[in-house]
Structure 1
Amino acid sequence: MNKYSSNTVQYPTARVQMLSLHVHDLLKHAAQVHAAATVTSVSLEGVVETQTYAQLAKIANNCATELHSMGLRSRDAVVSFGFSSLDQMAWLYAALSQGVITHFLNPQHRAEDLGRFLQQVRPGMLLHDAATASAAQAFAALVPGTPLRAMAKLGTGGGREYTTTEFAEDTLSHVCYSSGTTGVPKIVEYTHRSTVLHAWACALPDAMGLNSADRVMPLMQNFHASAWGAPFVCPLVGASLVLVPPHRDPAQWFQWIEEHRITVLGAVSAHWLALVRYMRTSGLSFSTLRRTVVGGTRLPFDVAQFIQEELGVEVCHAWGMTETSPLATIERFDSTRASLRHGKPVFGIELAVQCKGGACSAEGTGELMARGHWVAHSTANNSNWLATGDFATLHENSELEVIDRMEDSLIVDGIPLSSALVEHQARLVQGVADAALLVTDVASGRSVLAWVAMPEVDTASVTVELEKILSKTFNRWRPTQYIVVDAFPYTASAKVQKHLLKDHIARLHEDDVALTPNSSC
């Protein structure tokens, strides 16, 4: 008999057991493994405060004890109404530890939207900071009985260690409200599972590539798509995090980067356009910054080239939206390529384009569709695909190139035209402080270039130069009309609210006011 044929031997078998993914475990991990790494916040008044992850975890525990003593339980809601800070982080992780859902309200949203959000949420507590204290009192009256609490008045916990309760990983972790660039803000709900998976994806080498030696500063607030996941991915890898207020001054951004020895900067294209102009004018360079993750509208190729080759900062060009948590695709700038696109999807994201007739394909041009482990879509949608509203091309190997929003897209001689690139060329014309291309009729291709004039310029001569430059750059294409405006309405994420500019132009037409090169609003 073969000595190996016996059936009496029982080999022990081990199988991985599932543990639920919970966001608060990220801070627990950081406090244990990266205890000396820090979180720093800068207030609107410029006051700087720093805590280690170990200290932050203790304060979050005290806040959790207080929330629990107030009767808040899993799936209850609190509203966090303020700007990114250590205090906001402490209350966020306190709520996460017991399954309480944090709603990040944007103080820069319209008052009527904020009021409706509060009435819909009906929170168990309304947290505010010094900047939002008076507004919070006014809004709290809309939901009688809602306790108000200053974030800076952190819980003491009475020395007790709060024990987290058990809840499912598909419990909501937090809620963000989109910036409302195209109109009414959207409500986007994230789960513990989706948030942890998104943080893991952000940390990947071919994504943000973060590690414990990094010092990360997002110029986006926590209420703007969770500051691109920075409050979660930084503790995951042990990177230090620096939270700053929403200033619009590139000189201030540069000062923060240098003072806090930032190595990775999160910014939208509008941030970098202003920062590059400031640094060129001032002849400055960075001492520690080595990488930037850029989102928002498409970053012009020549600007990306200057950032990477002249400033020595690696450019990672990303695409995403509030509904994608937000990271979906990313690309590292390569100056040998003909253009800058938006990269390929990270693992966990799948893309398609919906062409004419409603068919979806893995390549082609049409409306961009997305699905994945951290992609939110309407609960009324029977499909698990998110219709993004972006007009895009999917190239070979799922390489993404977002052209524009669907309502802002133009096809010129069979080729999609990017309004972001038109606006960039317009800003290069002397006398133009800012520019926005508004597509007022997609079918006919009618468009208006709204632009902000620098002080004491002859707008008529600048318009002539705009005609000349744009026609030359875009193969004889140029906007149908031009209009000078005093200023642009921006969202908190530094995006122009084009729908408001379009409304203004529509009112001009209703009043039979001619749009001439010297018109202003």
Structure 2
Amino acid sequence: MTSPLYGQMMEVPLLASSLLSHASRHFGDIEIVSRRIEGDIHRYTYRDCEKRAKQLAQALIALGVEQGERIGTLAWNGYRHLECYYGVPGMGAVCHTINPRLFPDQIAFIIDHANDSYVFFDMTFWQLVENIAPLCPNVKGWIALGDEGCMAQFRADMSVPVQSYETLIGAQDGDFEWPELDERQAPILCYTSGTTGNPKGALYSHRSTVLHAYAAALPDAMSASSSDAILPVVPMFHVNAWGIPHAAPLAGAKLVLPGKDLDGKSLYDLMEAEGVTFSAGVPTVWLGLLSYMKSEGVRFSTLKRTVIGGSACPPAMLRMFEDEYGVDVIHAWGMTEMSPLGPLARLNHRQKQRPLEDQRRSLEKQGHTLFGVDMKVVGEDGRDLPWDGKSFGNLHVRGHCVIDRYFRREELPLVDGWFPTGDVATIDADGFMQITDRSKDVIKSGGEWISSIDLENIAVSHPQVAEAVCIACAHPKWTERPLIVAVLKPGATVTREELLAHFQGKVAKWWIPDDVVFATELPHTATGKLQKVRLREAYRDYVLPGAVESDA
């Protein structure tokens, strides 16, 4: 007998497979377009995708894969990788997306830690597989995402036994019903970038994955709809491509997958050819795209909006997209531990009544959080700080899309039920959050905090600066002072003195950096973020102007 406290609704679990089934049944003819590793453009539909994902599920069962086993992927954004996204968790196993940009030792560690039984890989990574396979003794088989003809060109050079994906799934008929799993089971495993120590795993649930897809598709998030053509530049090996492979079929949107070629020309050409209306990626990708467009004098004909995240979007980039190309930028923030989306900068009705410059200042922040993620900032004493846009402290989050612990780790990272993000932030009266720094990157000068992100944004707003990073240098009097490391645009002639003068009037005088050094390039992490750890090490002994005198 059911309890009178319960509603009388169908018990239908929230499963990742239901997203693809929905798209196949109700948007079956909508295209999924991929630039293949083979070099051509591949087209098929959501209906085709589900059938092949079911063939993959059947093939895994034939291999003896059981529910809960981890299946790794080393792949770009393409239709075969999308089939892994659904075929693996659809039959009850866990799709473990692996970042191929990590160091080989880290990749081997991740595969071993996850205990992957099979690894699917794009053929561009055959040499990587050749190198790491001896370090991964628990992997039962390596499966190349291609057909026998494509494999022939490198099979003779490989000592590792490899199967063809097309041969593997071609032996199955796709006549398969997705099993009704417990929605608390895990469909996806993602690891952090591992910038400090070994990467840590975030094991999502079917429930959290579907709820995240709902939230990501909302009008005040990505606003995904069946009238969109969506191109995720953010890789599918990086935190579920920010949820787009799940949100797109939920909404019935056309999906355009760019493969390995993420240079400005390749992206622009694909966007124009496929009528892309929405995209998402990290600032470094957009830097290359905007540079290409400016040099060629071309414009977007269909792109309406883009999400920029992964690291803070420079205000100059946001304004260039909007003022010069008419593209709305949605500034976003998230973490692997959060599935990953948290807040996104979308203005509400009241904010839109304010002067344009006030609106832009709000859009430069990371924004208002999605349903499913709550957030707060706390001081050094652990107490909640006011939402005044000025009080900055440690950012904590919680919600049904936030992990409560890392995969195969016993210790709980939570503090009073909240996950400490490691970011320093403010929240204003509108509920808009702004990241001011990573806790390890904030510059502590004379007992006061200086935001390295604010100084970086000012540096890249100079018309001759392509990219810049701000790091702390030791100072005998103030403990730490800011140093700017900048990369100039081709042909630029700006001097140290001119760039420092660019900060005047934009921040408090004591925030102005003590020095500027110019570099030919800056190091980035495997996910496109500036690698401040390496820069701090490189400039560990750098002597700032006046530092010696201050010591006297």
Residue of structure 1 in register with 2:94 after alignment: 101
Q: What CA deviation, in whole Å up to 9, does each residue of 1:300-328 have, x standing for no partner? A: 33432332243222222212111111111
2:326 corresponds to 1:312: yes
Partner Cα distance (1:14, 1:463) in 2 = 68
1:344 paired with 2:378, answer no
Q: Compute the displacement of 1:462 (Å).
A: 1.5
The match for 1:360 among 370, 384, 387 is 384
CA-CA distance at 1:357 after TM superposition: 0.6
Q: What amino acid is aligned across from residue 147 of structure 1 in structure 2?
A: G
Aligned to 1:487: 521
My pick for the range that moved more, 462-471 or 223-232, is 462-471
- One-letter amino acid matched to 1:216: I
Shift of 1:111: 0.9
How many pairs were matched up?
A: 498
CA distance in 1, matches of 2:281, 2:174: 40
Deviates more, 1:381-390 or 1:428-437: 428-437
Q: Does 1:245 align with 2:226?
A: no
Give 2:43's match in structure 1, choosing from 39, 50, 73.
50
Match of 2:125 in 1: 132
Which amino acid is 1:328 matched to? G
Task: Indicate the SS of the match to 1:435.
Answer: strand
Structure 2 partner of 1:27: 20
What is the Cα deviation at residue 198 of structure 1? Answer: 0.1
Aligned residue number for residue 153 of structure 2 = none
Deviations 1:143-197 (A, max 9, x none): 3352111122230243252233343111111111223456643322111111000
Q: 1:195 is aligned with what amino acid?
A: T
Residues 515 and 48 of structure 1, relative CA distance in 2, 3 Å threshold: farther
What is the match of residue 115 of structure 1?
108
Q: Secondary structure at the match of 2:225?
A: coil
Residue correspondence of structure 1 range 49-448 to structure 2 within 5 A: 49-144=42-137, 146-152=140-146, 153-154=165-166, 155-159=169-173, 161-181=175-195, 184-247=198-261, 249-332=263-346, 335-337=356-358, 339=361, 340-361=364-385, 363=387, 364-379=391-406, 380-381=411-412, 382=414, 383-410=416-443, 417-429=450-462, 432-440=465-473, 444-448=479-483
> 2:267 corresponds to which letter in structure 1?
W
The amino acid that maps onto 2:507 is F
Paired residue secondary structure (1:470)? coil
More displaced 10-residue stretch of structure 1: 297-306 or 487-496: 297-306
Separation in structure 2 between the aligned mates of residue 346 and residue 34 of structure 1, nearest angstrom = 26
Shift of 1:466: 1.6
Is the contact made by 2:193 and 2:527 (CA closer than 8 Å) also made in structure 1?
yes
8 Å CA contact 2:445, 2:481 repeated in 1: no
Post-superposition CA distance 1:335-387 (Å, at most 9, x none): 34161212211111111111121123563421110011111243522543111
- Root-mean-square deviation (Å): 2.7
* Stretch of structure 1 that moved more, 380-389 or 177-186: 177-186
C-alpha spacing 1:472/1:181, structure 2 compared with 1 (3 Å): farther
Report the alpha carbon displacement of residue 275 of structure 1 after superposing the two structures with TM. 3.3
**C-alpha displacement of 1:481:** 3.3
Is 1:320–1:329's contact at 8 Å kept on the other side of the alignment? yes
Distance, in Å, in 2 between the alignment partners of 1:345 and 1:56 is 32
1:467: how far off? 1.9
Q: Contact 2:233/2:262 (CA < 8 Å) preserved in 1?
A: no
Matched residue of 1:170: which SS? coil
SS in structure 1 opposite 2:128? helix
Question: Contact 2:500/2:516 (CA < 8 Å) preserved in 1?
Answer: no
What amino acid is aligned across from residue 66 of structure 1 in structure 2? A
Q: Which stretch of structure 1 is more off in the superposition, 367-376 or 328-337?
A: 328-337
- Residue 550 of structure 2 aligns with which residue? none
- Opposite residue 113 of structure 1, the aligned amino acid is Q
- Cα 1:278–1:58 change in 2 (3 A) is same
Q: What is the percentage of aligned positions where both structures have the same residue?
A: 29
The equivalent residue for 1:4 is none
Q: Which one is further off, 309-318 or 343-352?
A: 309-318
Q: Deviations over 1:217-248 (max 9, x none)?
A: 11111111110111100011100111113545
Of residues 52-61 and 251-260 in structure 1, the stretch that sits farther from structure 2 once superposed is: 251-260
Q: Output the TM-score relative to the length of structure 1.
A: 0.88
Work out the CA distance in 2 between the residues paired with 1:352 and 1:303: 28
Match for residue 452 of structure 1 among 484, 487, 492: 487
Go from structure 1 to structure 2 and tell me whether the alpha carbon gap of 1:59 and 1:424 turns closer, same or farther (over 3 Å shift).
Answer: same
Seen in structure 2, the aligned counterparts of structure 1 residues 183 and 474 have a Cα distance that, compared at 3 Å, is farther
**Range with greater deviation from structure 2 (295-304 or 87-96):** 295-304
Task: Work out whether residues 33 and 257 of structure 2, in 8 Å CA contact, stay in contact via their aligned partners in 1.
Answer: yes
Match of 2:534 in 1: 500
1:8-44 deviations in Å (ceiling 9; x for gaps): xxxxx97113321110111111110000112122135
Which piece of structure 1 moves more, 258-267 or 336-345?
336-345
Counterpart amino acid of residue 438 in structure 1: I
Distance 1:455 1:313 in 2: 25
Q: Which amino acid aligns with 2:365?
A: R
Helix, strand or coil at the partner of 2:322: helix
CA distance in 2, matches of 1:309, 1:484: 29
Alpha-carbon separation, structure 1, partners of 2:30 and 2:70: 30
Q: State the TM-score, normalized to the length of structure 2.
A: 0.83
CA distance in 2, matches of 1:117, 1:179: 11
Q: Which stretches in structure 2 are left out of the alignment for 5+ residues?
A: 1-5, 147-164, 547-552
Distance 1:441 1:183 in 2: 24
**CA distance 1:122–1:300, shift in 2 (3 Å):** closer
Q: Secondary structure at the match of 2:240?
A: helix
Q: CA deviation at 1:434?
A: 2.5
Aligned to 2:188, the other structure's residue is in SS state strand
The 1:277/1:151 distance shift into structure 2, 3 A limit, reads closer
Provide closer, same or farther for how the CA distance between residues 158 and 326 of structure 1 changes in structure 2, counting only shifts above 3 A: closer
The match for 1:467 is 500
Structure 1 stretches of 5 or more lacking a match?
Answer: 1-12
**Contact 1:182 1:497 survives alignment (8 Å):** no
